[in-house]
Amino acid sequence: MKGLLLKDFTLLFKVCKSFLIIMVVFFVIIPFSDSYSFLNYYLIILSAMIPFTLIAYDEKEKWDVYVKTLPVTNSDYVSAKYLTGIISNAVVLVILVLLRSAFYSNTNDFIAYASFLLIIGTVFMSINLPIVFKFGSAKGRIVNFVLIAVICVFILLAAKFSTSSLGLVLNVISGKYNVPLYLGVIGALLLLAVSWLTSIAVYNKKEK
What digits encode the pLDDT tens for the residues 41-57? 788 888 888 888 888 88
- State pLDDT tens for residues 112-145: 778 878 888 898 899 889 988 888 777 666 776 7
Residues 6+ apart with CB under 8 A from 49: 19, 124, 128, 144
CA distance 121 to 117: 6
CA distance 15 to 119: 28
Cβ pair 128, 63 in contact under 8 A: no
Rounded mean pLDDT, 4-33: 78
CA distance 140 to 101: 35
Provide the whole-model pTM. 0.79
Band the pLDDT of 199: cuts 50, 70, 90.
very high
CA distance 36 to 114: 12
